[in-house]
Chain A
Amino acid sequence: MTPFLQATVYGLLQGGLLALIAVGFSLVWGVMNVVNLAHGALAITGAYFSWQLHESLGLDPVLSLVVVLPVMFMVGYVIQRGLINLVVNAPIWMTLLLTFGLEALIVNGLLLAFTGDFRSTRTGYSTNTLALGGVRIPYARLIAFGLSLLLTVALVLFIRNTKMGLAIRATGMDRTAARLMGMNVRHVYAVTFGTATALAAAAGSMIGLVGTFTPVVAGGYTLQSFVIAVLGGLGNMWGALAGGLVLGLATAWGALYLSGTLVNAIAFGILVLVLIVRPSGLLGKPYYEARAEA
């Protein structure tokens, strides 16, 4: 029973973290119809950012978010405003190619700057664990999970209750109508992308806290974001959270009961199945009803 419980707890904690990466990916996809292949790379950029702050200033990864979040928001804002906005109206594979080029640029830039060595942000509490009836939970994972939930809830509140959130939802539903209402769609898109980037970077900081990272794992996180966003339904933030937890659990149980190498095959199997059977996602509404919802 204990290995099962341990795997379940681990899966849920990991799933929460994956959800934080995917929620921004899902938001960008839902609002702008852009599949951002550079999303994982932006998350890993956040991980390096946080790691560097810890190395040179001794800043705790959680505290460093005070710097990482606004800076990465600006990075995302500039990428959208200066680059992705230029091809938003092009056929969809253009944005796929553009963000793929961006991913190559970021990943190789990080490789040149930091080499491909595995890094990890080691804090004083990195090795401490909480023992709960035979199940051991590292404190770092608990912190990462709590932060993921907190930021996801904060995003939902932002989208639901602020004027900018309303603008984001409105542009996601009908961009032309939003423009006619006097919204600056270029700005709204850039804020959306900036928010997604900041959240991905926050998740990246947490990845560094709970484990190791290297630039080349970026693509893996992007693929997992795909699966989660599709599972949860586009632009659906609670859906992304649920999708993250489902993927985390499926991966943990798969690794426990099946060969660890089959896990990816299962994840992609789920992805293709969901796409074919229920493309609007587990919690999503039919595509034409809503692109972005909180």
Chain B
Amino acid sequence: MAATSARPGMPESESESAHPELGAPTTGPPKAAPAGRTTASQLAGWALVLGLLVICLLAPKLFIPSFPRTLSAVFMFATLAQAWNIIGGFTGYPSFGNVVFFGLGGYTIAVLMARSHWSFWPALVVAVVLGAAYAMLIGIPTLRLKGHYFAIATLGVAEGTREIVLNVPKVTGGGAGITVPAVGPSATTSYPGNTGFLYYFLALLVVAMLAVYAIARSRFGFALRAINQDEDAAAAAGINTTRMKIAAFMVSGAITAAAGSIYAFQQVSIYPDRLFSVDITVLMVIMAVIGGSGTVIGPLVGGVGLQFLSEYLRQNFTDYHTFIFGAIIIVAVVLLPEGAVRFASETVRQRRLPIMDNLRRYRL
């Protein structure tokens, strides 16, 4: 590999760490190829997506009764990973507080349905708008920060927001949680059941996939990638970087808030510790990264793969599943830092398994 020395020799300035793709030794086009060029692996990827959707539409009839619930979790996490991908993967701002939009969406739904007796759909609209607005509100100060500082500031915002939600029990129910009226006379929208939620999450995933696909091919997407690779150069090229970053964060926040809303309705009773859990953020990041951050299909692959794996481990190794999951994360980060999608396309392109290349590139 001629380009293996592309990164190690460079001094690590803070700006360098914001370019996940610059040092990649691939000389070919990146996975999310510019508009107009469609590679064979892209076609294969979309065929995979299509096949997956067909299976999922048939799923409730084909599989065991508990399957829809597992599958809706799979769709939800794939959606969350895809939403993270917009700000973390394309723009290169690793938000470690994206769960804040998830929690915000969930609580918006719960409060509006339980306290104000709204029905689900208008509340969902409000939740999505609030998610985008909150992203703008926290994005204006925090998107000035880079790298770790941005990651930790967003983490702090998420934790702080959870504490606020905990401390206004009159509205949110505090630590005791809040219950969405799902059945009985107080229910405002009839509970769709497991299969219903499966389709809600599937629809949201399709929306997220299409949104990212559209972004990846648009001027907006190119601006985000330019910011990712060199923000100063992007600004010099006439991109309003602040506005683009905030817009990306808002799209990410809106999608995440929608997922949180549906999740809250599905769970009926929600608690701040669950809805604002750092673990959800980390799962989003892991799924996006292991699938391939900055690609359109990667987060879907990562989300579906890891959530099924996690569910399998939970059912078969109840005591050890987090332990094993931790080990898998470590191995995946060391061996697949560019993500499964790029790994697969490199394998096809070079006609060999480039298993050690990433290791050579990123080790000291």
Question: A13 contacts the other chain (Cβ, under 8 Å)?
Answer: no
The interface residues of chain A lying within 8 Å CB-to-CB of B11 are: 174-177
Instruction: Count residues of B near A (Cβ-Cβ below 8 Å).
Output: 59
Interface residues in B309-338 by Cβ distance below 8 A to A read: 319-320, 322-323, 325-330, 333-334, 337
Known: A83-B334, A88-B364, A89-B364. A97 touches B160 (CB 8 A): no
- Cα separation A83 to B327 with both chains bound (whole Å): 12
Q: Which of A55-63, A100-108, A195-203 contacts B (4 or more CB under 8 A)?
A: A100-108
The interface residues of chain A lying within 8 Å CB-to-CB of B289 are: 93-94, 97
- Cα separation A125 to B200 with both chains bound (whole Å): 61
Q: Is the interface on chain A under 10, 10 to 19, 20 to 34, or 35 or more residues?
A: 35 or more
CB pair B322 A33 closer than 8 Å: no
Q: Which of A145-153, A205-213, A266-274 contacts B (4 or more CB under 8 A)?
A: A266-274
Q: Of B94, B167, B363, which contacts A96 at CB under 8 A? A: B94
**Nearest Cβ on chain A to B145's Cβ, whole angstroms:** 6
CB pair B149 A275 closer than 8 Å: yes
Question: A90 contacts the other chain (Cβ, under 8 Å)?
Answer: yes
Interface residues in A168-188 by Cβ distance below 8 A to B read: 174-177, 185-186
Question: A66 contacts the other chain (Cβ, under 8 Å)?
Answer: no
Question: A44 contacts the other chain (Cβ, under 8 Å)?
Answer: no
**Nearest Cβ on chain A to B6's Cβ, whole angstroms:** 10
User: Per-position contact with A for B138-182: 1 when CB-CB < 8 Å, else 0?
Assistant: 000110110111011101110110011011000000000000000
Question: A243 contacts the other chain (Cβ, under 8 Å)?
Answer: no
- Cα separation A26 to B278 with both chains bound (whole Å): 21
- Cα separation A104 to B283 with both chains bound (whole Å): 12
Q: Which residue of A lies closest to B8 (CB)?
A: A89
The interface residues of chain B lying within 8 Å CB-to-CB of A223 are: 159
**Most B Cβ at <10 Å: residue of A92, A98, A100, A107:** A92
CB pair A230 B152 closer than 8 Å: yes
The interface residues of chain B lying within 8 Å CB-to-CB of A175 are: 11-12
CB pair A85 B325 closer than 8 Å: no
Interface residues of A, dominant DSSP? helix
CB pair A186 B330 closer than 8 Å: no
CB pair A268 B156 closer than 8 Å: yes
Question: B343 contacts the other chain (Cβ, under 8 Å)?
Answer: no
Interface residues in A8-42 by Cβ distance below 8 A to B read: 29, 33, 35
The interface residues of chain B lying within 8 Å CB-to-CB of A185 are: 364
Q: Of A86, A92, A177, which contacts B334 at CB under 8 A? A: A86
- Cα separation A294 to B325 with both chains bound (whole Å): 38
The interface residues of chain A lying within 8 Å CB-to-CB of B18 are: 91-92
The interface residues of chain B lying within 8 Å CB-to-CB of A230 are: 152
Q: Of A35, A87, A265, which contacts B333 at CB under 8 A? A: A87
Q: Which residue of A lies closest to B23 (CB)?
A: A89
CB pair B148 A105 closer than 8 Å: no
- Cα separation A83 to B325 with both chains bound (whole Å): 17
Q: Of A94, A103, A226, A269, which contacts B152 at CB under 8 A? A: A226
The interface residues of chain A lying within 8 Å CB-to-CB of B19 are: 91
User: Per-position contact with A for B4-15: 1 when CB-CB < 8 Å, else 0?
Assistant: 000111111110
The interface residues of chain B lying within 8 Å CB-to-CB of A129 are: none
- Cα separation A93 to B359 with both chains bound (whole Å): 16
CB pair A261 B323 closer than 8 Å: no
The interface residues of chain A lying within 8 Å CB-to-CB of B157 are: 268, 272
Question: B292 contacts the other chain (Cβ, under 8 Å)?
Answer: no
CB pair A271 B156 closer than 8 Å: yes
Q: Which residue of B lies closest to A80 (CB)?
A: B364
- Cα separation A246 to B327 with both chains bound (whole Å): 36
Instruction: Tell me the A residues contacting B by CB distance below 8 Å.
Output: 29, 33, 35, 83, 85-94, 96-98, 100-105, 107-109, 112, 174-177, 185-186, 189, 219, 223, 226, 230, 259, 261-262, 264-265, 268-269, 271-272, 275-276, 279, 287-288
12 more A-B residue pairs beyond the given contacts A87-B337, A96-B151, A288-B13, with a C-beta to C-beta distance below 8 A: A86-B363, A90-B333, A92-B94, A93-B289, A94-B333, A101-B328, A103-B326, A189-B364, A265-B167, A268-B156, A269-B160, A272-B157
Q: What are the 3 tightest A-B residue pairs by CB atom distance, in nearest-first order?
A: A104-B326, A101-B329, A265-B163
A-B contact pairs, 25 of them (CB 8 A): A33-B12, A33-B17, A87-B363, A89-B364, A91-B19, A92-B18, A93-B94, A97-B286, A98-B330, A102-B330, A104-B325, A104-B326, A112-B323, A175-B12, A176-B9, A176-B11, A186-B364, A189-B364, A226-B156, A261-B166, A264-B160, A265-B160, A272-B157, A272-B160, A275-B142
